[in-house]
Chains A and B, each alone.
Chain A
């Protein structure tokens, strides 16, 4: 170096201060100039990234692949399955896999395998909620494969959950398919018809052996007993109505003919009438006393007599009112009797309308015949649904493609990432930072820059010693 110009002096003289592409020497110059900044940033980044990664929990991902066997339907009816059809079909199946039914089934199975065969619903829902956060059901694009992914910190647990969930998925899928094609409905309807036929045949047999356990006998007995009870009620009402009629007739005489002595017990028990009677007796006594002392024309006698008449009129008006009330009760009794008579007539008619044994047996035969016809129709439909169900099972069958396996880990950073990727990333970022510092610097780094800026010659360039 002695006595000669350092080659960097000319090499680092740019043609202008405008933005331009840097060459390799300038690149290295920036790197070495900011080497300590780069080293510091590199160390800080490595430490920060390592700390961040250490916070992540490593979780295994267990994978179970289910194959949707759609070969038959494609061979028979579909030459081409469009992407939209594929998405609709596969996504609908995957949606079943995400349903609460699958979650609950898997939760129950999980507890059952752990020795709790019948957990309460709260426990099942809690486990199902936990499974919902751990399990993903994802269709693999452009294929007929549905992938069940289980995220769990323990690999064995992840595998077990994947197996349980896959089995629950297949069970729920078959159940939904059966329900969709109506097989359950027809099976229940057939069972109902069988039950009705069995009951009708039993009833017919009972009737033929004079058994009284059939419901019609009970119905007949019930009709007759009800009629008798109603007739007893009617008779009671009629007796009561007659008594009331007599009372009303007697009471009517009180104010029509003035027979005070025919007061019925009901009238005598009336409190207001008692008071009025007492007042009347008192007035009569006072009038008798006055008449014994004075003449009939005396003003006191006349006043007392007038007062007595007024009291008698008041009593008479009250008795008339009470009799009117009795008459209304009497009219109501008549109406009730008529109603009861009508009901008794109806019950009598229904009792008379009950079929005889021959008609009943005919009815049973007809009923059983109709039920058998219905049974055969239902059976035909059930068989159709069974055929469709079998076809569905063939067409839409979910097949597990092997046992669950560990497909990978999340949160786990491989060694080569630690050794190679992260340091490289940190180094590049640190270099980028150095370039940013360089780009924003307004200091002079070359003689050319200095000359171009100042317009003056640089007479000497002393290097730092």
Chain B
């Protein structure tokens, strides 16, 4: 099946109730989760205790309560379950960088090429199941040559798999994952298992039950190639260090990361490459995962600089890293490689110096967040709010700004209000700016003014945002405060509205 690739599917049939139980919820009573459907609260999930009592999803809550009065019912939190599944996927990063979330209850890992690290597929799967069970989860696992087969076996096969192909053929048609009406049609035609379908020619099946069914069958049987879509693109380079005994001291963790940074530098140098982003992932032995990312303005590979950035990142964490029972795996990933040869290094030496502005930008962005440290890029537009684009400084090189026109006073304000501030006009003249206006409790008598400068909205960029043109004036009051104000809308009644948009020095 599939050109020798191997997939491991992990299915969590009781994930919503397992998640609540982890928080010590209703430990000795049957637990069900409900949701409003077809005009009544109905069960959508039930734990093992409830299932043994015959309380299955689909049942109305009122009926379930009548049968089992001591029942504990909670409303289902699908977002919470989704986040929890995503965290489980993070935890499974330790087995393979290619992890996909399937539906709301399963993960599929592409373990091709990772198996030898664990001494075999069975060992890898057993380790995963042991860890996940340790988190209080019910887990089913299956390995196969296609993601669909692995997932179908994990969800529908009972007992150990000795012959993979036979096991797939023995699965019920529900394992295809096709809509309910297709399943009903298949069952009516007497086709109950995948094996019943596999022996028949594809064309008539496709004609009768739809191309979707034929496609699902081909992928399940490995006749069509299929791959998983990992949650994240796998990084270009990964360096890991596993510990037989979990380590609880951050100093030891940093030491291990320092070694990995050294390995990374060595490998990057050999390839003539560098990285602009680095991610350190700390896997706790109980399944918790912390990832620390740092970013630099220019490609680099110096382990000392990288470690300083990581230390700054850790210092800046609002919730400090809790080693718990210790970390048993640390990993350093370089998501993408960028060219960095010796010539560039020499050229960039001045830039890469610790005291340079770009090094400062890297440090500040790491410490305070990349979105907080910005540069401005000019944009070719008349709309004042859009004339400058603020971008993270680590991600942008300085751009060229056109110099102002000689001899003119500043025509654009140093401070811009967003949104513009409404002002009360106390005295006005027909064709000009107000003679007196009130803003924030202060009254301003206009002594000098220039305008109007008409600025129209650029409707050709986005027709949904057609705004009336604005007439801008530069005005100065008696005390020498200079403002940028505009009149909104047409000159027609009702009375035009005036806004203060900016302040000049």
| Binding between chains A and B | no
